Structure 1
Amino acid sequence: MEISDVKIYPMQKDGKVKALVSIILADSLAIHGIKIIEGKNGLFVAMPSRKTKNDEYKDIVHPTNNELRQKIQSKILEAYQG
């Protein structure tokens, strides 16, 4: 699946979340609310999620295979690191 566009919105304050991201897939589907997070092992991409009543986070949108997940993460981090 083609990633048509990546828009990076850097965070203005210090913290673990470094940027919010919106992507467009195949010029047809927009996904907003993706986060770039600074973790113990470096930057990673977190898909949009919501907090449940049990204080767990559940993805709202996510790739159904590892190949697409890696493609999305690579494209987003490449755009972020510029």
Structure 2
Amino acid sequence: MPKAQAKVTAPTPAPDTPLPVEYAVRIYPVKDSKYTLANANVDINGIFAIRGVKIIRGENGPFVAMPQYKDGHGDYHDICFPCTKEARQQFNETVLNAYEQSLRQGQQQDNAPPMEQSM
């Protein structure tokens, strides 16, 4: 027996006027992990939050993995996800850019001389 679903639509602008999407991404580097490079929390337009996004080391470079659950058959399914290819691409690029920026900031802090020497 399928679960009951209600489809509720919010007022939307004209179809040719896309809503601007603003992401606030916080990166939490992971040390001592073979595959996970970092965890991320993402707030979308200040009204929707996604926790538990992962940046994973892949053969073709890092990629974004959404929060998942494992079903009774051992298969993994995303809990939340962008619904269009374009939205997924924008989300992934934003998270990966934030990750790369956090790496650069970390390198700058590592290369900075101690405070007493810089005065």
> How does the TM-score come out when normalised to structure 2?
0.65
- Give how far 1:24 is off: 0.5
CA offsets 1:20-77 (integer angstroms, 9 cap, x no match): 1110111100000111001111111011101112111100000100111011111111
Structure 2 residue matching 1:39: 3-state secondary structure: coil
- Give how far 1:4 is off: 3.0
How do residues 13-28 of structure 1 correspond to structure 2 at under 5 angstroms? 13-28=32-47
- Asked whether the equivalents of residues 23 and 94 of structure 2 are also in contact (C-alpha less than 8 Å), the reply is no
- Give how far 1:12 is off: 1.7
Percent identity of the aligned residues? 37
Aligned partner letter, 1:23? V
Structure 1 residue matching 2:57: 3-state secondary structure: strand
Q: Structure 2: which 5+ residue stretches go unaligned?
A: 1-19, 102-119
Larger radius of gyration: 2
- Larger fraction in helix: 2
Is 1:10 aligned with 2:61? no
> How many matched pairs?
82
In 2, the alpha carbon distance for the partners of 1:12 and 1:40 equals 19
> How does the TM-score come out when normalised to structure 1?
0.93
Structure 1 residue runs of 4+, over 6 Å off? none
- Asked whether the equivalents of residues 3 and 72 of structure 1 are also in contact (C-alpha less than 8 Å), the reply is no
Is 1:65 aligned with 2:65? no
Higher relative contact order (CA 8 A, sep 6+): 1
1:80 alignment partner in structure 2: 99
- Larger fraction in strand: 1
